[in-house]
Amino acid sequence: MKKIVFATNNLHKLQEISSITRDKIELLTLKDIGFAGEIPETSPTIKGNALQKAEYIHERYLMDCFADDTGLEVAALGGAPGVYSARYAGENASYNDNVVKLLHEMKDATQREARFVTMIALILEGERYFFEGIINGHISTFAAGAGGFGYDPVFVPQGYSQSFAQLSSELKNSISHRAIATQKLIAFLNVRL
């Protein structure tokens, strides 16, 4: 089985992606390759951040690897928090801080459409490839549910009446932005490997 490093320190993401890639590629974690630091994310775009993370590991370990970056884009906020989703409420904001700030910013909004955008950057045999996943939905007026992470308690995917945090992880992992991007990655690897 092909070994590929997933350049993330986020255990939630690792679980979500490994549930999809399980029998198709052998995912190596940063821990598996002995990397314990923080990977910089300083690009002004989601795609740029994904590539920056993948390149950071590739340059140091010369292994095939991929990284993802995700942003929540809220129409009523002009696409914010977008690339700043992790630090929306400040540099060391918790997931809950960000959710509270988002609900506050949206307290008078009647148009509540939002989307999650994931970009995966893959470096395979020295070449760069990108895979995008988008899921549309809306921001609810209150947080609900204990599953998932990040903005999941306030994001209701289109066609559902419950937040990502209320839906089962199996369901979220089959319809999410990250799932769509990951399925594209796997389809590509199936042809290439």
- Binding residues for ligand IMP, rule: CB under 6 A, are 10, 68-70, 72, 85-86, 95, 98, 148-152, 164, 176, 178
When the beta carbons of 115 and 148 are compared against ligand IMP, the nearer one is: 148
Residue nearest to ligand IMP (CB): 150
How far is 109 from 136, CA to CA, in rounded Å?
Answer: 17
When the beta carbons of 86 and 124 are compared against ligand IMP, the nearer one is: 86
How far is 105 from 76, CA to CA, in rounded Å?
Answer: 9
Nearest to 61 by CA among 120, 121, 128, 4: 4
Least spacing, CB of residue 85 vs ligand IMP, in Å: 4
State which H helix or E strand residue 172 sits in: helix 169-175
Q: Are 135 and 180 in contact (CB under 8 A)?
A: yes
Give the active site residue among 69, 97, 108, 152.
Answer: 69
Least spacing, CB of residue 174 vs ligand IMP, in Å: 13
Does the annotation mark 69 as catalytic? yes
Give me the phi and psi of 47, to 5 degrees please: -65, -40
When the beta carbons of 22 and 84 are compared against ligand IMP, the nearer one is: 84
Spatial CB neighbours of 146, under 8 Å, sequence gap ≥ 6 = 165
Least spacing, CB of residue 124 vs ligand IMP, in Å: 20
**Catalytic residue ranges:** 69
